[in-house]
Structure 1
Amino acid sequence: MRPFWRSFWASTLAYFAIALVGVLTLVLIIWIAFDKEEFEYEEHSVLNMNFANVSELSNAEVQFTGSDIATNYTIGLREIKQALNAAEKDDHIDGVFINLPMSLNAGMATVEEIRNSILKFRESEKFVIAYADVYTQKGYYLASAANEVYLNPAGMVEFKGLGAELMFFKGMIDKLGIDMQIIRGSNNKFKSAVEPLMMDSMSVANRKQTMTYLDAMWGQMLKGISTARDISVDELNEMADSLYVRNANTSKTYKLVDDLLYKDEVLDILKAKTKAASVDEINFVDFSQYAHFKDKDIKVDNAAEDENIAVIYAVGGINSGKGSRQSIGSETLSEAIREARLDKDIKAVVLRINSPGGDALASDVIWREVVLTKESKPVIVSMGDVAASGGYYIACPADKIYAQPNTITGSIGVFGVIPNIGPMLEDKLGITTDRVQTNAHSVYSIFQPLTEEEKMIVQQGVDQIYDDFTKKVAEGRGMTQAEVDSIGQGRVWAGTDALNIGLVDELGGIDDAVNYAADRANIKKSDIHVKVYPEWDNWMMDFLRGQELGGKDEQSNTAASAQVLKMLKSIDEMSSMRGVQARLPYEVIIE
Structure 2
Amino acid sequence: MKDFLKFTFATVTGIVLSCMVLFFISVVAFFSIIMSFDNKEAIVKENSILMLDFNGDLMERTTDNLLDRILGTEFNSYYGLDDILSSIQKAKEDENIKGIYLQATHLSASYASLLEIRNALLDFKSTGKFIITYGDYYTQRLYYLSSAADKVILNPYGGIEWKGLASKPVFFKNLLQKIGVEMQVFKVGTYKSAVEPYTGTEMSSENRKQVTEYVTSIWNQLVNDVSKSRTISVGSLNVYADRMLIYQPTEEFVRCGLADTLIYKNDVRDYLKSYMHPDSRFTILGLNDMKNVKRKIPKDISGNIIAVYYAFGAIDNIGITSNEEGIVSEKVIRD
What is the TM-score with the length of structure 1 in the denominator?
A: 0.47
Say which SS state the counterpart of residue 273 (structure 1) adopts. Answer: coil
Aligned to 2:209: 208
Kindly tell me: are residues 307 and 55 of structure 1, through their superposed partners in 2, closer, same or farther at Cα, counting changes over 3 Å? farther
**Structure 2 residue corresponding to 1:315, chosen from 300, 312, 317:** 312
Question: Residues of 2 paired with 1:235 and 1:110: CA distance?
Answer: 26
> Does structure 2 retain, via aligned residues, the 8 Å contact 1:276–1:282?
no
Correspondence 1:177-326 to 2 at 5 A = 177-184=180-187, 186-187=188-189, 189-244=190-245, 246-247=247-248, 248-275=250-277, 282-290=282-290, 292-294=291-293, 297=295, 306-308=304-306, 311-317=308-314, 319=315, 326=325
Partner of 1:190, secondary structure, is coil
| 1:91 and 2:92 correspond | no
User: Among residues 40, 45, 60, which one is paired with 1:42 in the alignment?
Assistant: 45
Counterpart residue identity of residue 312, structure 2: V
Superposition TM-score, scaled by structure 2 size: 0.79
- 1:144-188: CA deviations, max 9, x gaps? 00011110010111111001212222222222222333233x22x
More strand by share: 1
Conserved? CA contact 2:161–2:245, under 8 Å:
no
Structure 2: distance between partners of 1:203 and 1:330: 40
Letter in 1 for 2:128: E
Distance 1:262 1:306, change over 3 A: same
Q: What are the equivalent positions in structure 2 for 1:23-172 lying under 5 Å apart?
A: 26-36=27-37, 37-51=40-54, 52-61=56-65, 71-72=75-76, 74-101=78-105, 103-172=106-175
Q: Please say which of residues 226-235 and 191-200 is displaced more in the overlay.
A: 191-200
Q: Which whole-Å CA distance do the structure 2 matches of 1:263 and 1:307 have between them?
A: 46
In structure 2, relative to structure 1, the CA distance for the partners of 1:243 and 1:197 (3 Å cut) is: same
Change (3 A) 1:179 1:227: same
Is the 1:323–1:332 Cα contact (8 Å) retained in structure 2?
Answer: no
- Which letter does structure 2 place at the counterpart of 1:204? S
Q: Distance in 1 between matches of 2:135 and 2:326?
A: 33
**Structure 1's 223 and 181: CA in aligned 2 closer, same or farther, altered over 3 A?**
same
SS at match of 2:76: strand
Whether contact under 8 Å (1:59, 1:74) holds in the other structure is no
Q: How does 1:352-367 map to 2 (within 5 A)?
A: none
Offset, 1:86: 1.5
Q: Any stretches of 5+ residues in structure 2 without a counterpart?
A: 1-15, 68-73
CA contact (8 A) 2:316 2:326 kept: no
Identity of aligned residues (%): 32
CA distance in 1 between counterparts of 2:137 and 2:242 reads 20
CA deviation vs aligned residue, 1:330-384 (integer Å, no higher than 9, x gap): 7777x59xxxxxxxxxxxxxxxxxxxxxxxxxxxxxxxxxxxxxxxxxxxxxxxx
How far off its partner does 1:287 sit?
1.9
Paired amino acid for 2:230: R
CA distance in 2, matches of 1:331, 1:31: 29
Cα deviation, residue 77, structure 1? 1.9
Distance 2:43 2:165 in 1: 43
CA distance in 2, matches of 1:254, 1:222: 14
CA distance in 2: counterparts of 1:174 and 1:303, whole angstroms: 70
Q: CA RMSD in A?
A: 3.5
How far residue 263 of structure 1 moved from its aligned partner, in angstroms, is 1.4
- Between Structure 1 and Structure 2, how many residues are aligned? 310
SS at match of 1:288: helix
Q: Alpha carbons of 1:205 and 1:328: their partners in 2 closer, same or farther (altered >3 Å)?
A: farther
> Secondary structure in 2 aligned to 1:145?
coil
Contact 2:90 2:295 in 1 (8 A): no
CA distance in 2, matches of 1:39, 1:26: 26
Contact residue 316 and residue 328 of structure 1 kept, 8 A: yes
